[in-house]
Structure 1
């Protein structure tokens, strides 16, 4: 939901541009919502198509025939009744597993579907009414008009800096990770680079889900030095982009110190989970800005009445 609100805010300039030719706020919000769905769903569909194609090309009929031949030889050397009992036992175990797993699976699918629906609805609503909501929030602050405008401008600057800083960081992690895949001769580096760039939006755990299994496959294949090298490269080079480059990128486009960004990222991910990499720095930076504004704003104190003289 927070991501939907941030995306709605970032789409506000496009909304204002559309306002010149489309007067209906409902129609503008609907068009932007449809465009956002296409922008986010289309790349995922392309990646899934590429994964399916790669899996199909990696299928080796000769290898499959060898496995079937080994299975036939194994069956010939065993009692048919024993094999049948084992197969029935495996079928029963599979049935029991499905009986216990399907409810949780359907529950997870329902939660994901509900989350997507809520995000789409929130994006549409905030695209349509976000300016009114923000003006009401800023107007409720006990600050003079000049400081309200300054705070609104700096918050907008922080939001843009965090979002685009994360995009550049994900791109950098994906490219560096792809370079490591090429150096250590991992198959299908282009596809894995795309996946790593997408997974980099989940800090700390995103990219290891790509280069980690690739390194383990190298180790299992007997390519020990390449596997160890990829593990070290991923942990030292790719992972540190999140800790070093991202705070500096965000600080370059805002007036927030890199240490504040780093503390916000770490604290945000611990409190809010994955979404904390956006929410944490934003909340921490806004909190510090509010402290500064309230520190600068000193309302006139009511003069104390003079003490009575004897």
Structure 2
């Protein structure tokens, strides 16, 4: 009786200490998550380097980290800075009247009178839609300008978080295999289940960040490039917006390039508009079908509707990091239910709900 009481008391205290420690780390959730994600992506590079120089763990981890900074961190910071500058400049031009959005929308309306009739049939007032669109653009521009100012004021905090992420990434690269082994020993879920869940975590993180992000960046880059070639304003800004939209299945970069093509038709530039539509369909649109199966794999891909809802929900809950966190939580949710159905509902049926990784794939790290 005494032993049972002591065990329960210890477990309760362990739970309290763990919750307290989790609250302690809550302000650093974003750098911790991205450190884990970057480690999963670059760990194969570290392993290959370590195979050639097995006694230089610290040096190889540092070299891998430097490769990560050069390949990922510096380009992302450069693009983000340019994106914010272009967005703020565009907002200032709209606010000052240098760019008159009402006049541009009127050109589109005049060029496509059938749009007004179609909208009226489905109960949408074009004038009200125009006001909401203008209000939304101004709100987005104001939000971007405000956050650009806040980012400038919190530069020190940003670089502290970035430094913490890189610092943690170094140790995760160097000691990741030991940490995974320790985690498997500590979790009371059963080794087979833990291997499955950790493999699913690694698999979806790589697929979401390395695969989906590469596809989105490729589509956004190609979209921004054609905007620049055609002489459309703020090509980098729209390229980044197309990159973000490309993360969402069933939405994609067409939400930007197709209205831009309509605008070109309305302003008397049918050649540019036709080039943009053909390019968007044949180049930007086909990137998803060509690259995603190679980088992500059809068997490991979540259903599009799950990806859509989990990505949007992740963005709403976690900000920009949500595009990776949302699908990851969705994949873990499906993995847990797969284990539950297989072991508790239909023990004799070993067929998984979705194609999952084999146990041998687990500790890639």
Deviation at residue 151 of structure 1 after TM alignment: 3.2
How far is 1:159 from its partner?
A: 2.1
- 3-state SS of 2:302 partner: coil
Mapping of residues 120-269 of structure 1, within 5 Å? 120-174=166-220, 176-178=222-224, 180-181=226-227, 186-187=230-231, 192=235, 196=239, 200=243, 203=247, 250=296, 252-254=298-300, 256-269=302-315
1:30 corresponding residue in structure 2 = 62
| 162, 166, 175: which one aligns with 1:116 | 162
How many matched pairs? 245
Q: Tell me, what secondary structure is at the counterpart of 1:252?
A: coil
- More divergent stretch after superposition (145-154 vs 224-233): 224-233
1:126 & 1:180 partners in 2: Cα distance?
40
Q: Which has the higher relative contact order, 1 or 2, with Cα contacts under 8 A spaced 6 or more apart?
A: 2
Tell me the C-alpha RMSD between the 2 structures. 5.1
Q: Conserved in 2, the CA contact under 8 Å of 1:4 and 1:123? A: yes
With normalisation by structure 2, the TM-score equals 0.50
The CA deviation at 1:206 is 11
The CA distance in 2 between the partners of 1:243 and 1:276, in whole Å, is 21
3-state SS, counterpart of residue 9 of structure 1: helix
Q: 1:200 Cα shift?
A: 1.6
Aligned twin of 1:69: none
Q: How far apart, CA to CA, are the structure 1 residues paired with 2:65 and 2:213?
A: 20
Tell me which structure has the larger Cα radius of gyration: 1
TM-score, structure 1 normalization: 0.57
1:196 and 1:253 mapped to 2: Cα distance?
A: 30
Which residue in the other structure is 1:281 paired with? 327
- After superposition, the Cα gap between the structure-2 partners of 1:260 and 1:41, relative to the gap in structure 1 and judged at 3 Å, is closer
| Deviation at residue 292 of structure 1 after TM alignment | 1.9
What is the deviation of 1:295?
Answer: 3.6
Unaligned 5+ segments in structure 1 are 52-100, 299-310
Alignment partners' CA distance in 2, 1:273 and 1:206: 19
**Offset, 1:279:** 0.7
1:39 aligns with 2:82: no
Establish whether residue 291 from structure 1 lines up as the match of residue 322 from structure 2: no
Give how far 1:112 is off.
2.0
Give the CA deviation at 1:198.
9.3
**Shift in Å, 1:271:** 0.7
- Alpha-carbon shift at residue 244 of structure 1 (Å): 9.8
Shift of 1:115: 2.4
Structure 2: gaps spanning 5 or more residues: 1-30, 84-146, 345-365
